[in-house]
Amino acid sequence: MADYTIGMDLGGTNLRAAAIDKEGRMLDKISGATNFAEGREAVLSDIVAAITNLGEKHGAAGLAGIGVGVPGFIRMKEGLITSSNNLPFLENFPIRDEITRRLGTKFILENDANAAALGEKWMGAGRGVDDLVLLTLGTGIGGGIISGGRVLRGFVGMAGELGHITVVPNGNPCGCGNQGCVEKHASATAVTAMARLMQLGHDVGSKELAEIARGRDERGEKARTIWRIMGESLGVALAMLINTFNFPLYLLSGGMLPAWEFFEPHMIRVAKERSFTFRATATETKIAQATLGNEAGLYGAAYLPWIEK
Ligand SMILES: [Zn+2]
C-alpha cells in the first residue's frame, strides 16, 4: 500500500530529498552537494541515487510517487526545464522522461517556488487555506500561486513568476529584459546593493542590515530607509496580487524575514494605499511569514504525487 512519497529540491548547489508520509511527517531527509560542474550525467546520477537510497530504506512498495522542485521555467507537458540560471545543462533536456526511464517510477517536475508554495499550503503557514500566494525573498524573488488547493501553472507551467512584476516603471534593469522588476528592488541582492550605495558596506547581508537598522545612529537611519524602500516595493507588488486574486493569504519567506519589523509596516501601508480590495477586506486578508523555511520545497514536492494524477 502506498504510504509515502519522496520530495526533492534541486537547488543551485545542492540536492535535498525527503521521504514524507501521507500525513506530512518527514520520515527521512538526505542532502548533499551535487557536482554541477561535472555536468548533466553527474547530476542525473545524483538524483537517481538519492531517490534509490530513500526508496530502499523505506520500501519501494510503499512509494506513491516522486516530486522534484527545480529552479527555472518548466514546460509541464513535455517535462522540461526550458531556462534555468542554476542548471544550464539541464535546459531543454527531457529530464522527466529520462529519470522515469532510469527509476521505473513516474515523477512530477515543478518549479521550486511553486513547490514551496504548495508545501506551505500542506504543512506550513497555509494549512487549511486553499488559495494563497507565496513570495520567496532571496537573491531573486520567486513566486508560487495556489488556487483551489492546486498549483496555478498557466498553460505551459510558467505562471507565478512574480519576481518580475514591475513595481517601478523606469526602475533597475533586470536580466529578464524588463526594468523595475520587484526582485530588482526588494530581493536580498537589491538590499545589499542599496546598502552599498548608502555606504553601509560592500557586502552587507539582509541579517546584518536588520541589525544595523536597530541602531539609533546615522547608519541605523540609512538602514531603515533601505527597509522602507524594500517594503514599499513589496507593497506595490502585493497590491497588484491582492487586486488580481482576492486571496485570503499572502506569504513571504526567505532570509529577509529577520527584518520583518522594519519593512512590514511600509509594505502594508503601500499595499493598502494601492489596493481597494485590500482595504475592503483588511481584517480577512493576511500578509504573513511562511513557516517552513527551506523545507517548504521538500514538503510541496512530496505533496504533488498525492494531488496530481
Ligand atoms: Zn525581471
Burial of 188 (0-12, 13-18, 19+ CB in 10 A): buried
Residues 274-297 have pLDDT tens digits of 999 999 999 999 999 999 999 999
Residue 37: pLDDT band by 50, 70, 90 thresholds? confident
pLDDT in tens, 6-33: 999 998 778 999 999 999 999 999 998 7
Task: Report the distance separating Cα 136 and Cα 100, nearest Å.
Answer: 29
143 alpha carbon – ligand 1 mean position (Å): 12
User: Stretch 69-98: mean pLDDT, rounded?
Assistant: 89
Per-residue b or e along 247-266, where b marks 16 or more CB atoms closer than 10 Å to that residue's CB: bebbbbbbbbbebbebbbeb
Ligand 1 centroid to residue 200 C-alpha, Å: 26
Q: What's the pLDDT score for residue 16?
A: 96
* Ligand 1 centroid, distance to 244 Cα (angstroms): 19
Mean pLDDT of 34-61: 89
Using the predicted structure, report yes or no on whether residue 219 has a pLDDT greater than 80.
yes
Assigned C-alpha cell, 272? 493598502
pLDDT at 89: 85
Mean pLDDT, rounded, of the chain: 94
pLDDT of residue 217: 97
3-state SS, residue 131: coil
Question: Helix (H) and strand (E) counts for the chain?
Answer: 10, 12
Least confident of 4-13, 31-40, 132-141: 31-40
Residue 12 Cα, ligand 1 centroid: separation in angstroms?
Answer: 19
User: Residue 60 carries which DSSP code?
Assistant: G
* Pairing, β 141-147 against β 132-137: antiparallel
Taking the centre of ligand 1 as the mean of its atom positions, its distance from the CA of residue 215, in whole angstroms, is 33
Q: How far is the CA of 123 from the centre of ligand 1 (A)?
A: 30
CA distance 184 to 172: 6
Distance 154 CA to ligand 1 centre (A): 18
**pLDDT value of position 191:** 98
How high is the pLDDT of residue 11?
80
CA pseudo-torsion sign 194, 196, 197, 200: positive
**pLDDT for the residue numbered 13:** 77
pLDDT bracket for residue 1 (50, 70, 90) = low
Q: What is the pTM of this model?
A: 0.95
- For 117, counting Cβ atoms within 10 Å of its Cβ (0-12 exposed, 13-18 middle, 19+ buried), the class is buried
The pLDDT of residue 273: 98
Q: Which of 46-60, 78-92, 180-194 is predicted most confidently?
A: 180-194
pLDDT tens-digit series, residues 152-179: 999 999 999 999 999 999 999 999 999 9
pLDDT at position 261 over 70 = yes
Say if residues 107 and 66 touch (Cβ distance below 8 Å). Answer: yes
Dist. CA 41 → ligand 1 center (Å): 31
Tell how far the Cα of 31 is from the centroid of ligand 1, in angstroms. Answer: 30
Percent residues over pLDDT 70 in the chain: 100
207 pLDDT more than 90: yes
Which residue's C-alpha cell is 505533496?
Answer: 303
Residue 133 CA to ligand 1 center (angstroms) comes to: 18
* CA 103 – ligand 1 centroid, Å: 36
How many whole angstroms from 184 Cα to the centroid of ligand 1? 7
Q: For 144-149, which contacts have Cβ atoms below 8 Å and span 24 or more sequence positions?
A: 144/111, 144/113, 144/114, 144/115, 144/116, 144/117, 144/118, 144/300, 145/114, 145/117, 145/245, 146/117, 146/118, 146/121, 147/245, 147/247, 149/121, 149/307
Query: Which pLDDT belongs to residue 34?
Result: 75
Nearby residues for ligand 1 (ion, Cβ within 5 Å): 164, 174, 176, 178, 181
Whole-number Å distance, alpha carbon 176 to ligand 1 midpoint, is 4
DSSP conformation class of 94: -
Residue 71: Cβ within 10 Å count: 21
Q: Which residue has the higher pLDDT, 260 or 34?
A: 260
Residue 177 CA to ligand 1 centre (angstroms): 6
Q: What is the pLDDT of residue 72?
A: 87
